[in-house]
A and B are shown apart, each in its own frame.
Chain A
Amino acid sequence: MSLKELNAIFLAQRANLCRFVAARLRNEAMAEDIVQEVWLKIEKSTTPEVIDNPDGYLFTIANRLCLDVIRQQKRQKVREEKWTEQTTTKLDGIATSQEQDAESMLLQAERIRKVRLAISKLPTKSQQAFKLHRMQEMSHKEVAAEMGISVSTVEKHIIRAMKELVQTLKEDQ
């Protein structure tokens, strides 16, 4: 596929991409800009020759950009809250943030322990599929070939592992 062909697909999908971004960000005003950014990003860094699912590719990039925006908004919010907290209670900024770091590191270690435990309780095949997919970044298809099972079975294993993972982290909140 050439960049020109990919652009034609992008233009054809533009309205759908906008609708997706608007739904994902809950913000229609930003959608146009983000979708424009999708194309800029592709133009800058894509090798169109290797894309075999162009529609999916466009949505995946849009999804990633949305995630960046969401993360940024969250960080901004946290910063503002922290600032308010610190200025109103006049905490010693440096000491406090160091204490928080140590605390969050402990929490992090505890979380890792819980996640480890949850994963170790999964059936061996689910563990294996999840590990190959997550840690070695193999696609579902590659995991299927590696384990000698079908792609849909791989996905069942991954969904199962994800359910455990998400539930564990949710309870930890």
Chain B
Amino acid sequence: MKTQSNTDAQRTMQDEAIYWHVLLSSGRATQSDWMAFTRWLEENPERNEAYDFVVSSWEAVSEQEVFTPAPTTNDFGIAYFQTLLHKFSGLMNTRPWALAGGFAAAAMIMVMLAPTIFNQPATYTPEIYATNVGEQRSITLADGSTVVLNTDTKIAVNITQHARSIELQQGQAFFTVQHENNRVFEVMANGLRITDIGTSFDVKAVDTQTQVSVIDGIVEVKPKAADEQASPVRLIAGQQAMHSANDNIKVKSFDLNQATAWQRGNLVFKDDKLSMVVTEINRYFKKPLRLADDDLAEVLFSGVIQMSDQKRTVHDLAALLSLRVIATDDEFILTQNPIEPNQ
């Protein structure tokens, strides 16, 4: 028979389950605590369900709404802003607003100061991963997300209990993110802040140019300098955002195959200026390639270039464009001249 109200015995079991949940999630539960919990479970199969119910209840209140009734006190206002700040900051390790006291005005100031505070270097040391020119490398982060680093790339990784933040200091990286509700995944590149909503995406930072290409899912991008209230630009799969210093974010669609080709050792170009093609190829090799004259810079090129070995890469490109290659000790030169001057 099942009744609406709990019996005393059920209530006791429920309270015990709560006690176990609080102890076991405190971070200080020892092996003997866990074994005591095991014995408690073994004694009565119904206890498993009581414990499941407590854990589900705990998880059910993750919604913001539960804690945001009509604000009646200033104290509440602070708590709400703290939560918001915490959500947005991602990077915060310290909690300076704890000093703000009970004034809503102070909370507002914190909101306004937030961008400056968040840009301060954190107190912990990030992990650095880097690749040399011509090298590619795949790494798995502590949260299970993966990053593939392209040539000449450097990232700083900060994964804490509360936040996952990566700074792309130079180069290009492809991210496949393990989605978590409680920890946003954030990538900083040049002046751009990229926030993931569960996805895989590619970020390229060359000079002051930043390019974000979404392969799967959704990401949000926002200039780092923008204030906290400004709404981010939302990108869906197949969209690419371009951003350079002091510039608006431009969004266009892109060829998925093209943006991820580097991971297969290819570069794909479609009506791209030869000057840009050369710059792109030069990211992968130490010995520079240059164009013999400026007229060539404007030539448009479409095609797939394999990045295995520089000599072959350069000759492939030359062949596709009916150009010639001059190789010296220090550089490769692409030229239109069909014949050497002295021949």
- Residues of chain A touching chain B, judged by Cβ–Cβ distance below 8 Å, are 13, 16, 19-20, 23-24, 26, 44-47, 53, 55-56, 59-60, 63, 67, 70, 111-112, 115-116, 119-120, 124, 128, 131, 134-137, 139-141, 146, 155, 158-159, 162-163, 165-167, 169-171
The docked-state distance in angstroms from the alpha carbon of A59 to that of B21 is 13
| 23 A-B contact pairs sorted by A residue (CB < 8 Å) | A19-B38, A24-B38, A53-B27, A56-B31, A115-B61, A119-B66, A124-B75, A131-B79, A135-B62, A135-B67, A135-B83, A140-B28, A146-B95, A155-B22, A158-B22, A162-B18, A162-B54, A165-B58, A166-B53, A166-B54, A169-B56, A169-B60, A170-B14
B343 within 8 A of A: no
Which of B107-115, B138-146, B266-274 is near enough to bind chain A?
B138-146
Q: Which residues of A contact B45 (CB under 8 A)?
A: 26
Q: Which residues of B contact A112 (CB under 8 A)?
A: 63, 65-66
The docked-state distance in angstroms from the alpha carbon of A163 to that of B54 is 9
Is B58 in contact with A162, judged by CB distance below 8 angstroms? yes
- Residues of chain B touching chain A, judged by Cβ–Cβ distance below 8 Å, are 4-6, 14-15, 17-19, 21-24, 26-31, 33-35, 37-39, 41-42, 45, 48, 52-58, 60-67, 69, 75, 79, 82-83, 86, 95, 98, 140-144, 159, 161-162, 182
Measured CB to CB, the closest approach of chain A to B128, in angstroms, equals: 14
Q: Which residues of B contact A13 (CB under 8 A)?
A: 31
Is A53 in contact with B30, judged by CB distance below 8 angstroms? yes
CB-nearest residue of chain B relative to A155? B22
The docked-state distance in angstroms from the alpha carbon of A150 to that of B23 is 15
Is B58 in contact with A53, judged by CB distance below 8 angstroms? no
Is B41 in contact with A60, judged by CB distance below 8 angstroms? no
Q: Which residues of B contact A163 (CB under 8 A)?
A: 14-15, 18
Q: Which residues of B contact A131 (CB under 8 A)?
A: 67, 79, 83
The docked-state distance in angstroms from the alpha carbon of A137 to that of B93 is 12
The docked-state distance in angstroms from the alpha carbon of A23 to that of B182 is 29
Is A45 in contact with B143, judged by CB distance below 8 angstroms? yes
Partner of A166, one of B14, B28, B37: B14
Partner of B18, one of A135, A139, A159: A159
The docked-state distance in angstroms from the alpha carbon of A163 to that of B161 is 26
Measured CB to CB, the closest approach of chain B to A133, in angstroms, equals: 9
CB-nearest residue of chain A relative to B65? A112
Task: Identify the 8 closest CB pairs spanning chains A and B, nearest first.
Answer: A55-B31, A59-B34, A23-B41, A20-B38, A162-B18, A166-B57, A23-B42, A23-B38
Partner of B26, one of A24, A55, A128, A139: A139
Measured CB to CB, the closest approach of chain A to B142, in angstroms, equals: 5
CB-nearest residue of chain A relative to B68? A116
Q: Which of B14, B21, B66, B141 has most A Cβ within 10 Å?
A: B66
Q: Which residues of A contact B18 (CB under 8 A)?
A: 159, 162-163, 166
Is A171 in contact with B4, judged by CB distance below 8 angstroms? yes
Q: Which residues of A contact B161 (CB under 8 A)?
A: 137
Partner of A63, one of B24, B56, B95, B143: B24
Known: A131-B67, A155-B22, A159-B19. A47 touches B142 (CB 8 A): yes
Partner of B29, one of A59, A111, A116: A59
Q: Which residues of A contact B54 (CB under 8 A)?
A: 162, 166
Is B98 in contact with A140, judged by CB distance below 8 angstroms? no
Measured CB to CB, the closest approach of chain A to B203, in angstroms, equals: 22
Measured CB to CB, the closest approach of chain B to A149, in angstroms, equals: 14
Is A45 in contact with B144, judged by CB distance below 8 angstroms? yes
Measured CB to CB, the closest approach of chain B to A58, in angstroms, equals: 9
CB-nearest residue of chain B relative to A60? B24
Is A44 in contact with B144, judged by CB distance below 8 angstroms? yes
